Amino acid sequence: MRAVGADALARTLDALLTRVQYRLPADVLRWLMHAVRVERAPLARAALDAILRNADAAAQRSIPLCQDTGIPHILIESGPDVRLPGDVDAICSQTVEKVYRREQLRVSCVRDPLRRSSPLHACVLMSAPAPRDTVRLSVLVRGGGSENMSSSAALLPSTPPAAVEDHIVRTVAPMLCRTCPPVIVGVGIGGSFERSGWLAKRACFRRIGARSRDPFYARMERRLCERINAVGAGALAFGGVHSAMDVFIEHEPTHIATLPVTVILQCHSVRRGMVRL
């Protein structure tokens, strides 16, 4: 049994939450640098160039990549041979509060969703199993604009896979003009209704190019990415062929009467990071 101390968890999370606000992940930067070279639509190329100059400005001047410093999602994957501190929730909330205050990140949440009162720094905790004594700590800071571009549907269980693909493209296309493409598309298929949302969110954590291990779903991811890029919205919806950086599908067993499908978009400001503890 390997024990992870409260201090180690808090320290690692602190560093991760801070870094992601100012630096894009290497895979995203690489993708953007390639995209700006090959994009032919003038406004879309200018948009991609602005996104890259923004990344430089954020890193050099320690200004957050985006003013929507979001709601951080914290994913802890741990194996059966690991003992985590008992108060993981409290450690995460306190660390988020500490980092957001120290870094002067925007207070982007309210305690009451209807009365819109009491600003606070909230976070979303997610946990998942991992092999043996592995502990992976991941964060994904999600802005409200991306979060609004989420959709769940209860499809008929008889829906053929090709029609599920059509549904996903039809769902994503109109959303592209309301968020900040190029996006990462997270898709959750199966499970129960709320699990499909969890799976779609989990999919948004994957690195660009990290294909599904199941060849059937891997092919579907590739086809969906091509189709979404053919829609014509493009970078910041200025046209061209760079609407999606990648499409990731996570799937789970489901009931014979159901086929829940959730789609969640992640904007180009991919404030994501992962470390092993």
Partner 1 sequence: MSTKTVRLILPVRDPRALSRVTPGDTVLLSGELYVFRDQAHRRIAAGTFGELGGRDLSGAGVYYCAPTPAKADMPVGACGPTSSYRMDGLTEPVLALGFRVMVGKGHRGDSVRALCRKYRAVYLITWGGCGALLAGHVRAARTVAFRDLGTEAISVFAVEDFPVVVGIDVRGAALSTCCPRRLKGVSDES
Residues that bind partner 1 (CB under 8 A): 42-43, 46-47, 50-51, 53-55, 57-58, 61-69, 104-108, 116, 119, 143-145, 148, 169-170, 173-174, 176-180, 227, 230-234, 236-239, 267-269
Nearer to partner 1, 71 or 105 (CB): 105
Residue 134 CB, nearest approach to partner 1 (Å): 33
Residue 18 CB, nearest approach to partner 1 (Å): 14
Nearer to partner 1, 154 or 230 (CB): 230
Residue 41's contacts (CB-CB under 8 Å, 6 or more residues apart) are: 234, 238, 239, 240, 241
Instruction: Extract the tokens encoding 151.
Output: 């959709």
Residue 157 CB, nearest approach to partner 1 (Å): 24
Residue 249 CB, nearest approach to partner 1 (Å): 18
Nearer to partner 1, 9 or 164 (CB): 164
Distance of alpha carbon 81 from alpha carbon 174, whole angstroms: 45
Q: Which of 96, 34, 98, 24 is nearest to 65 (CA)?
A: 24
Residue 271 CB, nearest approach to partner 1 (Å): 10
Q: Which of 178, 188, 209, 233 is nearest to 39 (CA)?
A: 233
Three-class SS string for 38-89?
HCCCHHHHHHHHHHHHHHHHHHHHCCCCCCCCCEEEEEEEECCCEECCCCHH
Residue 86's contacts (CB-CB under 8 Å, 6 or more residues apart) are: none
Residue 255 CB, nearest approach to partner 1 (Å): 29
Nearer to partner 1, 76 or 168 (CB): 168
Nearer to partner 1, 67 or 127 (CB): 67
Nearer to partner 1, 116 or 213 (CB): 116
Residue 177 CB, nearest approach to partner 1 (Å): 4
**Single-letter code of the amino acid located at 84:** L
> Quick one: DSSP state of residue 182?
S
Provide the sign of the torsion angle of the four alpha carbons 232, 244, 71, 97, taken in this order.
negative
Report long-range pairs for 170-173 (Cβ below 8 Å, ≥24 apart). 171/263, 172/228, 172/231, 172/244, 172/263, 172/265, 173/228, 173/231, 173/233
